[in-house]
Amino acid sequence: MRFAAAIAILLAASAPSALAAQEAPASTVAATPDLSGLWVVSNRSSRGNLDENLKELKPAEFLTPAGLEATARLRPALDPSAQCLPAIPRHIPGPYPIEIVQRPGRIAMLFEWDTVFRVIYSDGRGHPDPEEDQRYMGHAVGHWEGETLVVDTANFNGKTWLEGSGIPMSTQAHLVERYTLEDDGKSLHVVIRIEDPVYLSRPVYRNYFFNLRNDWEIKEYLCAEGNRDNVFQQREGQPGALELDDVIEAE
């Protein structure tokens, strides 16, 4: 749990914006739901890309010509996630636990997958200049709408995939995530709206549920950027199998 402890210290840092949030009236702070805890994705979650009614879409219904072309030349061995590069929204429904640590002014999501984290700033700040600050997981700012945390994520670097089917994410990708506690705080419902004018012809949605498992803890997941020997794709003659061009010879 050293990883979680380190992030907790980060969240308590005395940045002016964080201090301002800490000085908010007690009634405001008390009314804010606490999402803190260790969450595991539930089998109630939907899979695939959905419309606004959370019904599954076929690729031709939501991909632009560029998106269709990218998926047609899919090579799973070159999946950025297989090379240990983090991505949002892919890390959210991964099969590994996520610990949320909530503090006034910011919320951290600690992912067991790849042992990475993201910070959602809820102190009123906006996104930095997208030309100067681009990230694999994007830059996230949040606010509360009633009991729902609404997260706006932008500033992507264009180097990740939306999913394993090979749909890329451009630097113009934009996500709106909504987090709501259900079942007396034992479940977390997450709905994500995804826009990308380069690869998506319309917004698509994701619909996930998570179960609270505070009897679990995050384990170490060791991964190093640049891994090329993805054992799950080493099936000779199968789509995505490693080829000579994928292997970096030792000097």
Say which residues have a Cβ less than 8 Å from residue 179's Cβ, sequence separation at least 6: 35, 148, 149, 151, 188, 189, 190
Helix, strand, coil tally for the chain in percent (to 5): 20, 30, 50
Q: Which domains does the chain have, with CATH numbers?
A: 2-228 (2.40.128.20)
The 10s digit of each residue's pLDDT in 197-249 is: 999 999 999 999 999 999 999 999 988 755 555 444 445 555 455 555 555 55
Q: Residue 193 half-sphere exposure, CB side, CA atoms within 13 Å?
A: 9
The 10s digit of each residue's pLDDT in 43-101 is: 999 989 999 999 999 999 999 999 999 998 888 778 888 888 999 999 999 889 999 99
Say which residues have a Cβ less than 8 Å from residue 209's Cβ, sequence separation at least 6: 41, 42, 44, 45, 182, 187, 188, 189, 190
What integer best gives the mean pLDDT of the chain? 84
* Distance in angstroms (rounded) separating the CA atoms of residues 166 and 153: 21
* Cα 186–chain centre separation: 21
Q: What is the pTM of this model?
A: 0.79
Helix (H, G, I), strand (E, B) or coil at 68: helix
Report CA-CA distances (Å) from 10 to 89, 107, 157, 196.
Answer: 23, 10, 24, 32
CB neighbours of residue 192 within 10 Å: 21
- pLDDT score, position 173: 98
CA angle 84, 156, 231 (to 5 degrees): 15
- For 191, the enclosing helix (H) or strand (E) is strand 187-195
Q: If you ran DSSP here, which 8-state letter would residue 93 be given?
A: S
SS3 for 220-251 is CCCCCCCCCCCHHHCCCCCCCCCCHHHCCCCC
- pLDDT score, position 27: 33
